[in-house]
Amino acid sequence: MTTWTERLHPTRLRKRAGGLLVDGFFNGIARAGKLHPQSRPSRHGLEVIEDIAYRATGDRAHLLDIWRPALRARDGQPLPTVLYIHGGGFRILSKNTHWIMALAFARRGWQVVSINYRLAPQHHYPAAIEDACDALVWLVSHAAEYQIDLNHLVFAGESAGGNLVTALALATSWRRPEPFAQRAFDTGVTARAVLPACGMLQVSDVQRVRRRKPQLTKFIEDRLTEVSEAYLGPPPHDDLTLADPLNFFESSAQPERPLPVFFAGVGTSDPLLDDTRRLQAALDARGVTCETRYYPKELHAFHALVMREQARKFWADQFAFLDRLGLSPK
């Protein structure tokens, strides 16, 4: 149990204040953005089915939204679908703060299944990836009901969500010992493509970022440490494979099913830049397609500010990648 003295320690207080600042910033942007008339799904011919339970727990963490083109949904045909998992350092934010991501895909004709999941530090690893696996199981079992085209399925997410979609790709390509990972594997379904934007693909050993970038600010170092400690919980840690999917991809373990192709975009001023570089190298070594795009001087999650030029370029590059794969809605 944490004592009052520990709670009032300057380092702890600094980390807490920084975390609240980040949380407030992103929640504020999300709320402000929803005031714009163009944020309304109906303006784009979209419909949104909100707060569907994918686990029968009664917990808001186990709800999802479905965004889809209204006219295409009415014709009864299967819809190419994105399973979207939001970021927020495993600690903050939700499907509601990430409505802009769902809107961006849905405007291009995709159906988007955007999920909540249990957050740290109340729920340590592997709670978040367990929820992601169970969301996939729900998606597969309700494919007919919601016109989900399992042959045109994409996993997408940013930051912590990039970690979770990469770990989900791992869990559907290798048979794992965790019961929740087995449930996902046993669906027989995996993504055709995985889109981990600016992913934190290794949660352990945050000092690797400091070793690569000695001039890292204390504010950023605090945020990375906070994420790692909150998600992983106190040591000792057992198997961190699904928290550190990048490390596993760098191993020699061969999958039982082929890994999907990847598209990974990241800003060159993102402290997590090296995770994307390592992902490219690891997948290259495996002979798996990974198209990586680097955006000069851009910060972490820059693509969420969709009005900016580099953000628009990111989205155009990502959609062009899906077009070339023949996955995009016709």
List 131, 244, 270, 274, catalytic entry: 270
**159 annotated active-site:** yes
Structure tokens given for 168: 């989900």
Q: Do the Cβ atoms of 111 and 67 come closer than 8 Å?
A: yes
- The Cα–Cα gap between 295 and 299 comes to 9
- The Cα–Cα gap between 246 and 279 comes to 6
- The Cα–Cα gap between 330 and 311 comes to 24
Count CB atoms within 10 A of the CB of residue 66: 23
> Which phi and psi (to 5°) does residue 72 adopt?
-70, -30
User: Residues near 106 by Cβ (< 8 Å), separated by ≥ 6?
Assistant: 41, 44, 46, 67, 68, 69, 112
- The Cα–Cα gap between 261 and 201 comes to 16
**303 annotated active-site:** no
DSSP bridge pairs for 290: 262
List 98, 123, 152, 300, catalytic entry: 300
Beta-strand pair 63-69/46-53 = antiparallel
- The Cα–Cα gap between 155 and 175 comes to 18
Q: Which amino acid is at 211?
A: R
In 54-147, where do the E strands start and end?
A: 63-69, 79-85, 111-115
List 86, 123, 152, 159, catalytic entry: 159
For the range 35-43, what are the long-range contacts, defined as Cβ-Cβ under 8 Å and sequence gap of 24 or more? Answer: 39/99, 39/100, 39/103, 41/67, 41/103, 41/106
> Where does residue 149 rank: exposed (0-12), middle (13-18), buried (19+ CB within 10 A)?
middle
**75 annotated active-site:** no
Q: Do the Cβ atoms of 134 and 116 come closer than 8 Å?
A: no
Q: Do the Cβ atoms of 19 and 226 come closer than 8 Å?
A: yes
Return the active site residues: 159, 270, 300
